[in-house]
Amino acid sequence: MEITSKDRQLIALLGENARVPVATLAKRLGVSRTTAQARLERLERLGVITGYGVRLSEAYVSGLVRAHVLVTIAPKSLAQVTAAIGRVEAVTALHSVSGAFDLIAMVASPSIAELDRRIDEIGSIDGVERTQSSIILSTRIAR
């Protein structure tokens, strides 16, 4: 799949604001509206763009208590544990990693008490052997 410089520019513009009208995207890219629309449809068809999301405000996110929950799982339980962690509402992302832990769950809750319950919920999943949590105090760089 060939992604051009203009495609990368288009992706970057959508990353800033996915609700920008195609006419505005075209103007910022220096191409016609039809060309911008065709590029966008091609990126969707190729699976480069699979959807559009919501970027939460810093004011909202700063009101949440967030943590990285490092998870060690039992052998051959990855699929089961992944599915169970995916059902925990407070989990915003789950990463498979190398090293001493197998997974890192990103968890966000409105309070410490709720975060504590969600971490306990992850720890009680069948196949989870151990967890270690780090509460995020602040975000220094976000891109």
Instruction: Specify the CATH number of the domain 5-45.
Output: 1.10.10
Residue 14 is predicted with a pLDDT of 92
Residue 39 is predicted with a pLDDT of 95
d(Cα 65, Cα 46) in Å, to the nearest integer?
Answer: 37
d(Cα 44, Cα 37) in Å, to the nearest integer?
Answer: 11
d(Cα 93, Cα 98) in Å, to the nearest integer?
Answer: 16
d(Cα 118, Cα 89) in Å, to the nearest integer?
Answer: 8
Residue 70 is predicted with a pLDDT of 98
Residue 62 is predicted with a pLDDT of 81
Residue 67 is predicted with a pLDDT of 97
Q: Mark the ranges of the chain whose per-residue pLDDT is less than 50.
A: none
Q: What is the pLDDT of residues 15-53, one digit of tens each?
A: 888 999 999 999 999 999 999 999 999 999 999 999 988
Cα separations in angstroms, 14 against 32, 39, 49, 61, 127: 17, 12, 10, 21, 39
Residue 132 is predicted with a pLDDT of 98
Domain 58-136 maps to which CATH number in 2.40.160.50, 3.30.70.920, 3.90.650.10, 3.90.120.10?
A: 3.30.70.920
Residue 142 is predicted with a pLDDT of 76
The residue extents of the domains of the chain are 5-45, 58-136
Residue 110 is predicted with a pLDDT of 94
In three-state secondary structure terms, 98 is coil
List of E strands, the chain:
65-73, 91-96, 103-109, 128-136
